[in-house]
Homo-oligomer: A and B are copies of this chain.
Amino acid sequence: MQFLKQLWNVRAFRAGVPAIMANLRLPFDPVEHGLDKDFRLTKFTQLKGCGCKVPQKELLKLLEVLRGHEVGGDSTAVGVEEVGTGTGDGTLAQLPHFGIGNDCCIIPLQYGGLYLVESTDFFYPLVDDPYVMGQIACANVLSDLYAAGVVHCDNMLMLLGVPQKFSDKERETVIPLMMKGFKDNADKAGTKVRGGQTVINPWLTIGGVGTSVCMPNQIVYPDNAVVGDVLVLTKPLGTQVAVNAYQWMSNPDDWKKISAVVTKEEVETAYEEAKYHMADLNVEAARLMSHYGAHGATDVTGFGILGHAENLAQIQRNEVKFAIHNLPIISKMPSVAKSGGGMFKLLQGYSAETSGGLLIAFPREQAADFCKEMEKLGKTAWIIGIVEKGDRTAQIIDKPRIIEAPNRTT
């Protein structure tokens, strides 16, 4: 811990700004909170973050049973024909599976042409700082709304599982910190947490629900990509690799696997980067999506960049396919992924991400402007691929260009 703190001080100094302005936090020190020095949040789960999802293929099989509940999928769907203004309804009517298999659902309401946009997500800790974990959980839930271009969230619910094995002290210390992180990010997003459910569970669980009621013109529908569009990604990949590498540092056997390609300081940095990006809201990207005429987007989480690109490709109205040429990745994580014994499919595009960036299809000229605007706001954004004529699939080209993302926390 001492090492980390010093490192942090150096960083804050380097940045030439006071800690709080550098948007950096002192690493979580359990002792300072009266907890055992070996207390680690991540010990209270066996699966990390969005890596806990049921694999996509199995999930789709399970979801078969809900057939008939898809929006627009049957005649009893709430007023698909009667409400809304044009495009929205058409889109919905042509997307028999839209809403299922996607975490975010978009539903026409019975009042005033309004739509309900709603999403839920919950998972297990993948970082050891409870406050940051709360921030990440909140950012991750809202990300689904942001992927639909919806910037205004009317309400959040918080879902919490308190570990059975927490002592009273641990519960009273850690849970409020996590809730605070969640709440602070909700504040930043201009929304509020007004309900939820808290249960006892073997594993620590945190997540939530985001709900927005909005006009159809506030929604960016995901299915309008056209040939010639380019694909933009707003956060670097490699979050799951970074948090694993960080944990491997404290286990010599694990560390051996990657120590030839990376130093401990580099892993510390990558871990800070992963935390920074995972806790960051995709709200600016969402705000700029409409402005720059996005043709559709998704957020990158448990199925990895390619898994989510495939999902997005599959629901397109036009006969298109997505070709990914560039992979922006947290510094040093490409080599770690390669050395990690094949357990990460990072370069294949299937490494789980948690609270990842938005993957957005833009008209070519708008994409460049979007990226510039994001940069002005201190955010990252890369053009990573193109939309071609095709069969609604997605792939990463042979030998994609690996872009090591510039560090934001050093």
Residues of A near any B CB (own CB < 8 A): 46-47, 52-54, 58-59, 61-66, 69-71, 76-78, 99-100, 102-105, 107, 109-112, 114, 116, 118-124, 152, 154-155, 157-159, 162, 164, 171-172, 175-176, 179-180, 183, 186, 192-203, 205, 207, 209, 211, 213, 215
Contact = CB atoms under 8 A, between A and B. Distances in A.
Most B Cβ at <10 Å: residue of A64, A118, A164? A118
A103 B195 contact: yes
B192 A197 contact: no
A198 B112 contact: no
B118 A176 contact: no
Given A46-B164, A120-B159, A157-B118, A54 B199 contact: yes
A108 to B, nearest CB: 9
Given A155-B107, A157-B120, A66 B193 contact: yes
A92 B64 CA distance: 41
A125 B199 CA distance: 13
7 contacts: A58-B171, A62-B172, A69-B192, A78-B192, A110-B213, A120-B196, A120-B197
Contact of A77 (B70, B104, B107, B192): B192
Nearest to A112: B112
A69 B197 contact: no
Contacts of A157: 105, 118, 120, 209
Nearest to A156: B69
